[in-house]
Each structure stands twice: as structure tokens, then as C-alpha cells.
Amino acid sequence: MMNEQQILDNAPEGATHYLVNQYNFTKGYFKLTENCDVLAYAGKEEGWRVINIDVSLNGNYEVRSISDIQTIVDQQKRITQLEKMIELGLGFENLERDL
């Protein structure tokens, strides 16, 4: 399974969600539109396609927001930076505000 950074690195432009079926481990990127349409990414050649969602979320699906994944990655970078500062004995005045 991909980690958070890999999910972001492989996300097609416009993706809003990443879904993994925990039963058979199929995965894919989805885009929710302002009109509440759901589009599935069908690859570089086919791009985004509107799909009909008839899925009961019965615990087999892990649906993750791309924006939430980005927040996790940003926080992981911040934690790594703080750990390095502590290791070097630096004060928080040296903390980079924008990663």
C-alpha cells in the first residue's frame, strides 16, 4: 500500500479523494464536483469519467481526502524538522514557518 506522500505524488490533477477497497485492495482516485457528481480517474489516456456510485460503505472501503492527506504530510515534515532542532539543541526561534 502506498504511503501518504506516494498517494499525493501519484494523484492526478483535480483529485479530491483516494479510495482503497480493503477486501480486494483495488484503489483509485476520485473527484467530487460542485454539482455532486463523482468522477473516477481512468488513466492518463481516458482521464476523468462520471460514475454512478452505488456503494454501501460497509467497512470494506477506506476513503481518504486528498486535502487531509496533504495536511498529514505537512505535519510529518514539521515533526521531522522539530526533531532535528531538538537533536541539535536549537531553539524554536530557528523554526521555519513555511515548509
Rounded to whole angstroms, the Cα distance separating 74 from 68 reads: 10
Let me know if residue 99 belongs to a domain. no
pLDDT digits (tens, 9 = 90+) for 53-88: 665 556 677 889 999 999 999 999 999 988 888 888
The 3-state secondary structure of 37-71, one letter per residue: CEEEECCCCCCEEEECCCCCCCCCEEEEEHHHHHH
Let me know if residue 60 belongs to a domain. yes
Q: What is the pLDDT of residue 56?
A: 55
Let me know if residue 10 belongs to a domain. yes
Q: What is the pLDDT of residue 96?
A: 60
Instruction: Report the predicted TM-score, pTM, of the whole model to 2 decimal places.
Output: 0.74
Q: Which residue has the cell 486535502?
A: 67
Q: Which domain holds residue 42?
A: 4-94
Q: Once rounded to an integer, what is the mean pLDDT over residues 29-38?
A: 89
Let me know if residue 30 belongs to a domain. yes
Q: How confident is the model at residue 99 (pLDDT cuts 50, 70, 90)?
A: very low
Specify the pairing of strand 17-21 against strand 61-65. antiparallel
Q: Could you give the number of structural domains in the chain?
A: 1
